[in-house]
Amino acid sequence: MSAELEISAAELDKVRNLIYKESGMLFPTKKNYFIANRIGQRIKSVNAKDFREYYHRLLVDSDEMQNFLEELTVNETYFFRDFPQLQGFAEILLPKYLEKKRQVNDYLLRLWSAACSTGEEPYTLAIILREMIEDFDRWNIQIDATDIDRRVLRHAKIGLYSDRSMKDTPIPYRNKYFKRTPDGWQILPVIAEMVNFEQLNLIDRMAMRRRRNYDFIFCRNVLIYFDDTSRKRVVMALYDALVPGGYLFLGHAESVGRITAAFHLERLGDFLCYKRPEI
């Protein structure tokens, strides 16, 4: 009998609560089979005797907790995801925003991709900035990219992508910023060097407090895995991480309307973005 079949529903509840406490991800009970399966895999990897021994290990061994969370994250992403939203950002919001900064001689621009997965999102932002900013060389552009999952960050730093990741990438950009290799599409250094990757858990209060003064934060397609309580906690931390007048972008299925009135909503075509008021 496999290890996962020996886990009771009550034990799985305990694990779901632990996952929630450690990551903000709230798995519904209908995902019990998926969680049990991942526990079974980890039990084998660490040679634990049974569920009880493994659960105890999760409580005392933060490395194993991290390994376990990495088995649970959904890392689906691709370049130029939600193209119309990015187009609104690139063609409507960004030019206005940069013009305001130029007027006060402020040439620092800071972006954060706050659940970056394998790197497609922050590299997409880097390509957009390179393409859209005529006086690009005058700007000090900083793009931070973070994720809870160390495996995806390793992939992001290597910067090698499948055809699937590239499916929405405009061909001129693909030809300009990637090199075709037998193993896939390699992002070129001119873009790779613009992005700084680091591990960060969005519900880690201390780590979030250190993030400040971003002009644009992209936190897309991660809050769908959270409940309203952890969502609110993250969104308020992102609010604090923005400069007054800075913008938050969420995934198309996500909204902050129900959880806070702190932001001003702005429409970009069919998309909403969330502005931290100027004062």
Ligand X SMILES: C[S@@+](CC[C@H](N)C(=O)[O-])C[C@H]1O[C@@H](n2cnc3c(N)ncnc32)[C@H](O)[C@@H]1O
With contacts defined by CB under 6 A, how many residues of the chain interact with ligand X? Answer: 23
276 touches ligand X (CB under 6 A): no
If phi > 0 it is left, if psi is from -120 to 50 it is alpha, else beta; for residue 56 that is alpha
Exactly one of 7, 36, 98, 121 binds ligand X (CB under 6 A); that residue is: 121
Place of tokens 């193993």: 183
75 touches ligand X (CB under 6 A): yes
- For ligand X, the closer CB: 37 or 201: 201
- For ligand X, the closer CB: 51 or 274: 274
Task: Tell me the two tokens of residue 75.
Answer: 């890392």
- For ligand X, the closer CB: 148 or 217: 148
243: enclosing H helix or E strand:
strand 242-250
The residue type of 212 is R
251 touches ligand X (CB under 6 A): yes
Q: Is 78 helix (H, G, I), strand (E, B) or coil?
A: coil
Site for ligand X in 10-49 (CB under 6 A): 23-25
Exactly one of 66, 142, 186, 201 binds ligand X (CB under 6 A); that residue is: 201
Straight-line distance from the first to the last Cα atom of the chain, in angstroms, rounded to the nearest whole number: 61
Piece of the chain touching ligand X by CB under 6 A; list 56-64, 86-94, 153-161, 200-208: 200-208
Q: Please state, as a whole number, how many other Cβ atoms lie within 10 Å of the Cβ of residue 261.
A: 9
Longest Cα pair distance anywhere in the chain, in angstroms?
69
85 touches ligand X (CB under 6 A): no
CA-CA distance, 48 to 64, in Å (whole number)? 12
Query: Nearest approach, Cβ of 58 to ligand X (angstroms)?
Result: 16
Exactly one of 54, 79, 117, 159 binds ligand X (CB under 6 A); that residue is: 117
